[in-house]
Chains A and B, each alone.
Chain A
Amino acid sequence: MPSVRQFVLTVLVLGAVAAAGAAAVVWGGLYDVAATTQHPALVFRTVATALDTSIERHAAGITTPDLSNADLVRQGLPLYRSNCAACHGEPGIAAQPIARGMTPVPPPIVSPARDRPPNELFWIVKHGIKMTGMPAWDLKLTDDQIWSLVAFVSRLPDISPAAYKAALKAPDPAQAFLEYVNDPSRQVAIIEAASASLDASAPSAAPKTASGPDTPGENQASAAAKAVWVAALPPLHTEPPEIAPCEDSMVGCEPNTLPADFGDADRGKLALHVYGCMSCHQIAGVVGRKVRVGPPLGDMSRRGLIAGILPNTPSNLVAWIRAPQSAKPSTAMPDTGVEDKTARDMVAYLYARAR
């Protein structure tokens, strides 16, 4: 039996070692603060949990007013667009490039809108969050304005990206927005229309070039990417695609293989991190919250179709990453201006990581 003295001694020694370790990290500059390196998963989870519990605790005393008032939602839309959209994006519309490399990456707005109750959203907007890019809006916006923002944001998960964009083009966007969220069946019609417009406009004589070397100039580059997916688009079909059955599933028996030198997987992993892809997708090896704005990407090498419409080939995946809305106008995934080489590297990582 160890004596009390031995026990106390052990505790003291361990405490001293821990304190020395902490001191080395703090004064020795051991923790890498570069935004190009991810937090270790454990650190990320610990900080994220501390953040969530702090928000929950501090917002607990706030009473949420009646947010169903249409006027609140109406006032919220322009406020959101002028103050928040730059960093948090809008349904189907990317945040400004400046927000994408931020660490932590500002969440796409639908994510907190869906996961956090209104009192927490109010608290976050009013007080901001230390050591993140989220500013306090206290003194800049009135409480009433913040509540109207919360009223609007809370309804954002209820609108499809296609209907949202249609609402923005309407003479009275806020009114159109309300009509869509209050009658979801109207949103289905919008998506049908978006798909139809694509069929009408798809040029049949698109050049069949694979994604070539980097082309300077955003427009030229995305035009090249578009040409690839247009060439690859399957004809309009009402039957399921022909997929040969195998042992346990229709596809997924063998992972797709990548041509040699297709891309640099390590650089691709970094790119997925700095473009903030993990703010919408769960990606093995890229540390982030448990989100599902888009589908998880763990099985990309085995996936049969990209976004349900494109055969999953490496060059289609590159084209999709670069210009998703050209292939599927209704998608919530925004065009983020990823360059050809970077997209290839991302594909190399996604294919390599797939189980």
Chain B
Amino acid sequence: MSARTIMFGMLVLAAPLAPLAARTQQATDAARVSEHGKDLLAQYGCGACHVIPGVDRAVGRVGPSLATIGHGVYIAGSLPNTPDLLAAWIRTPQTIQPRSGMPNLGVSEPDARAMVAYFYALTGE
């Protein structure tokens, strides 16, 4: 048996594992993004106004608790809860709702996306 045959055989045997490896990679990527989102929530000081489980000192009560926002139907009672609109809300709440007590905090698009990932990963209390 030549070395080439052996390598070919190994590849064939390992082939079914490829999608599994890809999926594990995807899962770890998602986990990393949501973990990053959690750090950002602390950095931007969202916890001054919101209860957010897992985020240090996030015990504020100006706005509602965000523990279950991931499976909420609406954002701010007004917008359908989709990743796009949730990111838009986090970036520009007062553009959407001029009277809102939530300020535009200058959150960048990728940062808002990471926060959304964290909210959707939260399973609630």
Contacts and interface: CB of A to CB of B under 8 A. Distances in A.
B96 interface: yes
Taking residues whose C-beta sits less than 8 angstroms from the other chain, chain B's interface range is: 35 or more
B97 A191 contact: yes
Interface size class of chain A, counting residues whose CB lies under 8 Å from the partner chain: 35 or more
Contacts of A340: none
Interface string B57-71: 101111111011101
Given A111-B73, A292-B71, A188 B79 contact: yes
Interface stretch (A23-31, A207-215, A297-305, A342-350): A297-305
A45 interface: no
B99 A234 contact: yes
A58 interface: no
Contacts, number: 143
Interface in B90-125: 93-103, 124
A198 to B, nearest CB: 8
A294 B71 CA distance: 11
B88 interface: yes
Contacts of B74: 110, 160-161, 293-294, 332
Contacts of B51: 299
A156 to B, nearest CB: 9
Interface in A237-254: 237-241, 243, 245, 248-252
Interface of A: 110-111, 114, 157-162, 184-185, 187-188, 191-192, 195-196, 199, 233-234, 236-241, 243, 245, 248-252, 282, 290, 292-296, 298-299, 302-305, 307-309, 328, 330-333
7 contacts: A158-B82, A188-B85, A251-B60, A296-B67, A304-B101, A332-B77, A332-B78
